[in-house]
């Protein structure tokens, strides 16, 4: 192979590598742009949780969507209490729940596991049912592979609603 052929082959490899890097940068850019609303909601919710519930450390952030969207910060306040701070997307109400006054995420998963025997639990989020009842929403796949949702009351672990085969 001559010197010119090797140089041409090398240039082709560099061009292909450049195109691959450019595609990866574009994909990463779209991903970052798509995450902007999530980051803004999380930051605004954290600011409100700091102001109204004196939350200093965040453990989790949840988004619950049903009839209305609720944002929840799980964290520790300045009294070292673990709390959930629930804020509706629209409205000016802030609800605060002490974690030890209800069931845990793991307990909600266990309740759904025992009651419905899902193939897989996909996601668990904290939210509000009808604007007044704190719940754990457990998304799961049933044995037929269909998407289902169970709403488990935070205060006592009762299943308030089970939506199957979506």
Domain annotation covers residue 135: yes
CA 126 to CA 87: how far, in whole Å?
Answer: 11
CA 33 to CA 16: how far, in whole Å?
Answer: 26
Confidence tier at 5 by pLDDT (50, 70, 90) = low
Residue 55's pLDDT is what? 92
The conformational region for residue 117 under phi > 0 = left, psi -120 to 50 = alpha, else beta, is: left
Confidence tier at 6 by pLDDT (50, 70, 90) = low
Domain boundary among 83, 101, 119: 101
Domain annotation covers residue 29: no
pLDDT digits (tens, 9 = 90+) for 51-80: 888 999 889 999 998 888 999 999 999 999
Structural domain count, the chain: 2
> Pick from 159, 154, 45: which is nearest to 100 by CA?
154
Q: Which domain holds residue 132?
A: 105-163
- The CATH number for 140's domain is 3.10.450.40
Domain annotation covers residue 68: yes
Helix 3-34 to helix 36-53 angle (10° resolution) is: 40
How much is the mean pLDDT over the chain? 90
Domain boundary among 59, 84, 101: 101
Rounded to 5 degrees, φ, ψ at 146 are: -85, 150
| 81/41 same-domain check | yes
Of 6-10, 19-23, 154-158, the poorest mean pLDDT is in 6-10
Residue 117's pLDDT is what? 95
What pTM, to 2 d.p., does this model score?
0.79
């Amino acid at each position: 192979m001559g010197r010119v052929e090797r140089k041409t082959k090398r240039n082709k490899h560099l061009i292909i590598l450049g195109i691959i890097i450019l595609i990866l940068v574009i994909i990463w850019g779209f991903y970052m742009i798509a995450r902007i609303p999530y980051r803004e909601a999380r930051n605004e919710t954290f600011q409100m949780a700091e102001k109204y519930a004196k939350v200093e450390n965040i453990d989790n952030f949840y988004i619950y969507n049903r009839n209305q969207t609720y944002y929840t910060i799980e964290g520790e306040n300045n009294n070292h209490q673990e709390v959930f701070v629930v804020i509706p997307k629209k409205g000016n109400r802030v609800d605060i729940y002490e974690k030890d006054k209800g069931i845990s995420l793991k307990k909600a998963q266990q309740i759904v596991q025992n009651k419905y025997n899902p193939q897989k639990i996909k996601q668990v989020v904290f939210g509000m049912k009808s604007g007044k009842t704190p719940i754990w929403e457990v998304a799961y796949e049933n044995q037929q592979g269909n998407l289902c949702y169970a709403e488990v009351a935070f205060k006592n672990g009762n299943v308030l609603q089970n939506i199957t085969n979506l």
